[in-house]
Amino acid sequence: NAGVTQTPKFQVLKTGQSMTLQCAQDMNHNSMYWYRQDPGMGLRLIYYSASEGTTDKGEVPNGYNVSRLNKREFSLRLESAAPSQTSVYFCASSEVLAGGFEQFFGPGTRLTVL
Amino acid sequence: ELKVEQNPLFLSMQEGKNYTIYCNYSTTSDRLYWYRQDPGKSLESLFVLLSNGAVKQEGRLMASLDTKARLSTLHITAAVHDLSATYFCAVDQAAGNKLTFGGGTRVLVKP
């Protein structure tokens, strides 16, 4: 049981390049999320997917697109990277609890845009 | 818009002493979460608080939730070096099970 996995772990891009961050979970969770964490700050929600086939914008969606490929996989795409997108990106999935839920986070992808 | 504020932002602790981290939030919610993050690592779930008056304890950490005051506290008893980390609270936005995070409290426990 690997939990939430992300690839790659590190990436350096030049301004204007594109890339896709991959996320997969093996816990059979319906909901999945993408966050970014800037230095010294908390996490901010980029996009989320409440179930397979649905996606919605979070707090900071500009410059990103997502695809919920199936129940396990949720990818984040940067079409034209900008230095402001330098950050650590975390994927998460959530388990429903009685009265709430619990989110489980992947190890993160450290992205630098030059 | 939901805002979540933690204080202090940084806490230098002495081993053996007790400390409290505060988490205030701006809109009604009954669900609050505490996470721990070690440097360069991911987030680890500490506590899930799902109702007013909820109290959870694990080892030297105890978290409580007062939904009327829109306040949660994370109390550290007899701090030890292993508790050095950044602690985040997060509040459920209710629709879509989405979390809004506080800015974090960086804890450093000195001998």
Q: What is the pLDDT of residues A37-66, one digit of tens each?
A: 998 888 999 999 999 989 999 999 999 999
Across chain B, mean pLDDT equals 93
| b (16+ CB within 10 A) / e for A34-63 | bbbbeeeebbbbbbbbbeeeebeebbbbee
pLDDT at B97 over 90: no
pLDDT at B93 over 80: no
Q: Would you list the DSSP string of A23-59?
A: EEESS--SEEEEEEE-TTS-EEEEEEESSTT--EE-S
Among A2, A96, A104, residue whose Cα is nearest residue A51: A96
Tell me what the mean pLDDT of segment B89-98 comes to: 80
Count other Cβ atoms within 10 Å, centred on residue B57: 12
The reply to whether residue B90 touches residue A58, judged by beta carbons under 8 angstroms, is no
A74 at B interface, C-beta within 8 A: no
Are B91 and B32 in contact by the 8 Å Cβ rule? The answer is yes
The reply to whether residue A44 touches residue B101, judged by beta carbons under 8 angstroms, is yes
Across chain A, mean pLDDT equals 94
CA-CA distance, B43 to B54, in Å (whole number)? 22
At residue B96, the pLDDT reads 63
| Model confidence pLDDT, tens digit, residues A76-101 | 999 999 999 999 999 999 988 887 88
At residue B37, the pLDDT reads 96
Determine the residue of chain B that is closest to A49 in CA distance.
B96
A42 at B interface, C-beta within 8 A: yes
CA-CA distance, B16 to A91, in Å (whole number)? 36
- Bridge partners of residue A33, in order along the sequence: A48, A92
Give backbone dihedrals phi and psi of A84, rounded to 5 degrees, phi first.
-65, -10
Count other Cβ atoms within 10 Å, centred on residue A106: 26
At residue B71, the pLDDT reads 96
Are B92 and B29 in contact by the 8 Å Cβ rule? The answer is yes
